[in-house]
Chain A
Amino acid sequence: MKIKPGSVFLIFILLLMIYTATEALSFGHYEAMLAPLLLSMAILGLGAIELVRELRSKNKRAQPIEDEDLPPMVVARVAGGSEMRRFGTALSWIGGFALGIYSMGFFISTLLFALTYLRVRGLGWLSSTGFAAGFTVLLYVIFEIGLRSHLYRGLVFGG
């Protein structure tokens, strides 16, 4: 029997709840363990019902429930490339940006991230550079000058 990705996701949640319940039992204080124990048991019960239901309906393909409201004319699907690969690519960009912030701070990494991303996505040098610079300046004006919240400067520039 082939297990659907939705069921794998649910099994992951159930395993997490088994851990949560076990951990809750170790708290040793009634008030600390009551809510986590009740909730994890409730999720385990509900999850088991859902899992049985999902495994029984093996012929139905798992489909995303939300956001199917867009008519085809507004959705341009990219030819080729699996969903997971595209998700992985987006996640890599986000992860790279976060690492950039850690090493170079918010402003420089935003500038570099915007420039690199837009260039890779096929925008011209002028529009990419203009947007990246304009957006970084806007963030600087709003957060540093307007709201006076001093954002992280990065490991390279002494944090």
Chain B
Amino acid sequence: MIDAFLQGTATVFQPMVFLSILVGVVLGVSVGVTAIGGMVACALFLPFVYQLPPELALSFLVALTSVVFTGGSITSVLLGVPGTAPNAATVIDGFPMAQKGEAGRALGAAIGSSMFGGMASVFLAMAMIPVLKPIVLSFRAPEMFMVILLGLSFLAIMAAGSPVKGMISGFLGVLLALIGFQGVSGVYRFTFGSFFLSDGLDLNGVVLGIFALTEMFDMIVKGKKTIAMEVRKVGFKGVFQGVKDIWIHKWLWFRCCVIGYVVGIVPAIGGNAAMFVAYGHAKQTSRTPEKFGTGCVEGVIGPESANNASSAGDLLTTMAFGIPGSAVMALLMGGFLLVGVTPGPVMIKDSLPLVFTLLVGIAVANWIAGIICLLIAPQLMKVSFIRIDYLFVIISAVVFIGAFISKLSLLDLVVAIVFGVLGYGMKRFGYSREALILGLVLGELFEFYLTRSLKIFGPTFFMTPTSLVLLVFIILVFAYPWLKNVFSRRSLKGAQ
């Protein structure tokens, strides 16, 4: 274990790997500022790593996705626009602070919490590996099937629309993954006689269409000219005051890091939930909860430490189980497969140095991102003033190149356009695109574990103790909105 850790850490500091982390950080922070989100960022940069060695490619992608939240906190504070979805809670107190003339302090607190949160979670993740290894290796087909189902359920329930629509999206994604030739039965499924579809749908084309093209369509339809139109001045004195605030509220910061990390471990939840749980916790434990929402620095420290801390937990679940911890991780898993690395129990068993490389890479990336953002946050803001017209051209070209490059087929351009249209419809009518992608990535595993469980354990395969516990969790996930309604109605009656 220690050998693997040392080997992994040494790899991070190899010049080329370090450079790829640096490039990933700069791009990740810039993407966070442009508010196009981690999903689109990961999708857009997948084509660039196609021919790189795994250490370089994965370090770049992990660095890119783990610091997007840090960049996103800048727009949250200065513009009231969450750079990424997990920055949404930061707006509640960060933006009022900026309006009160404390932009620098809010920014210092947000970036500092993100930076230290991301680094602390890596240590938590590394401490967890010796415990996690035997658990992962003890999971059999029924348990793995239940974990996949749990992941899809969580994402469905967390989706912006109704949970039913979230579940429909997830199952649609799994169905899409079944297109093509099935080796076990020798049957071509849903290929319409096309040779192109016999290999199945290419993840790149689908992801680029459903996220990048959809976002472009949406921006054009909404008639946006630029992402941002107004800027606030930031003083360095305030920035350092914000960093000092983290020290003053160090226990809050630590508790929120642990919350972020733990929530990140749960399949398919990630930063979105972590940030709101942490915000709620910060408010609950504050001596001045009434100040929350009016520009309270604790309301910035809580969610910002949690969203970055969720990345390491998220990545660990992905690498250990081969089941993405969130939608961004589903894409990252696509990147793993693209460069020939298969996440899952085998990775924890046989490629431990690479696991450590990526975890240490997250810590280093967060450190670099924090320093970059603290020093040049106001300059970074300029990225969000790029005209949408330029972005439309850039993103369209990258989408098509990305779709083409993995299979060298022009039909993947059509796939990207079709999924761009489908994605726009899904976004317009409240379906979860994240759940669809998670389903698409997990589709093959879903079918594999289902048929294997049925073959070995029969129709009652879910009756093993661990599977039953997971099944109870799944039922609770779906019952949660209903239970919440019942309890809130009761408490309302009690109050009357």
Which A residues form the contact surface with B (CB < 8 A)?
Answer: 5-6, 9-10, 13, 20, 23-24, 27-32, 34-36, 38-40, 42-43, 46-47, 49-50, 53, 62, 64-67, 69-71, 73-78, 83, 86-87, 89-91, 93-95, 97-98, 101-102, 106, 110, 113-114, 117-118, 121, 123, 131-132, 135, 139, 142-143, 147-149, 151-152
- Out of A30, A31, A147, name the residue touching B51 (CB < 8 Å): A147
CA distance A69 to B175 in the complex (A): 31
Say which residue of A29, A31, A73, A147 sits within 8 Å of B229 (CB atoms): A73
5 more A-B contacts (CB under 8 A) besides A69-B88, A73-B230, A117-B393? A9-B428, A35-B450, A65-B160, A135-B394, A139-B401
B391-433 with Cβ < 8 A to chain A: 392-394, 396-397, 400-401, 404-405, 408, 410, 413-414, 417, 420-421, 424-425, 427-430
Asked, given contacts A6-B429, A35-B447, A123-B389, whether A143 binds B401 with beta carbons under 8 Å apart, the answer is yes
Q: Contacts A5-B429, A35-B174, A64-B430 given: A94-B397 contact, CB under 8 Å?
A: no
Q: Is B126 an interface residue (CB 8 A)?
A: no
Q: Is the CB of A27 within 8 A of B189?
A: yes
In contact, B81 and A23 (Cβ under 8 angstroms): no
B397 touches A113 (CB 8 A): yes
Residues of A within 8 A of B175 (CB): 20, 36, 39-40, 43
Contact assessment for B184 and A39 in the assembled complex, using a CB-CB cutoff below 8 Å: no
The reply to whether A94 and B396 contact each other, CB–CB distance below 8 Å, is yes
| Contact flag A77-B229 (CB < 8 Å), given A31-B184, A114-B393, A143-B401 | no
A18 smallest CB distance to B (angstroms): 13
Contact: B393 with A113, CB < 8 Å? yes
Kindly report which residue of chain B lies nearest to residue A29, judged by CB atoms: B185
Mask of B41-60 contacts with A, CB within 8 angstroms, 1/0: 00000001011000000000
State which residues 180-201 of B face A: CB under 8 Å: 182, 184-187, 189-190
CB pair B396–A31 under 8 Å, yes or no, is no
Minimum distance in angstroms from B392 CB to a CB of chain A: 7
Residues in A whose Cβ lies below 8 Å from that of B414: 98
Of B110-118, B212-220, B359-367, the one with at least 4 CB within 8 A of chain A: B212-220
Mark interface residues in B159-184 (1 if CB within 8 Å of A CB, else 0).
01110110110011011001000101
Interface string of B439-473 (1 = CB under 8 A from A): 00000001100110010000000000000000000
- Contact, CB under 8 Å: A6 / B430: yes
Most B C-beta atoms less than 10 A away, residue of A62, A132, A147: A147
Interface string of B200-213 (1 = CB under 8 A from A): 00000000000001
Given the known inter-chain contacts A27-B185, A36-B178, please indicate yes or no for A47 contacting B424, CB distance below 8 A: no
Whether B230 and A113, one on each chain, are in contact in the complex, defined by CB atoms closer than 8 angstroms, is no
> What 0/1 pattern do residues 136 to 163 of B give for CB contact below 8 A with A?
0000000000000000000000001110
CB-CB under 8 A from A117, the residues of chain B are 389, 392-393
Interface residue B82 (Cβ < 8 Å from any Cβ of A): yes
A interface SS class: helix
Taking the nearest CB of chain B, how far is it from the CB of A83, in angstroms? 5
Interface centre among B51, B390, B400 (most CB of A within 10 A): B400
Name, among B224, B393, B414, the residue most crowded by chain A CB atoms within 10 Å (CB to CB): B393
CB distance from A78 to the nearest CB of B (A): 3
Q: Please, which residues of chain B bring their CB within 8 A of the CB of A49? A: 164
C-alpha gap A130/B31 in the complex (Å)? 23
User: B168, B217, B389, B400: which contacts A87 (Cβ < 8 A)?
Assistant: B217
Q: Give A116 to B165 CA distance when docked, in angstroms.
A: 39
- What are 8 inter-chain pairs, A to B, with CB distance below 8 A? A23-B190, A27-B185, A32-B189, A39-B171, A74-B79, A97-B396, A113-B393, A117-B392
Contact (Cβ within 8 A) A43 B171 = yes
Q: Which of A32, A38, A147 contacts B50 (CB 8 A)?
A: A147
Are B48 and A101 closer than 8 Å at their CB atoms?
no
* Residues of chain B from 27 to 72 with CB closer than 8 A to chain A in the complex: 48, 50-51
Neighbouring B residues of A98 by C-beta, 8 Å = 400, 413-414, 417
- Cross-chain contact A69 with B81 (CB below 8 angstroms): yes
A32 near B225: Cβ-Cβ < 8 Å: no
- CB distance B167 to A46 under 8 Å? yes
A66 to B432, CA, bound (A): 9
**Contact B187–A27 (Cβ < 8 Å):** yes
Q: How far is the CA of A98 from the CA of B413 in the complex (A)?
A: 7
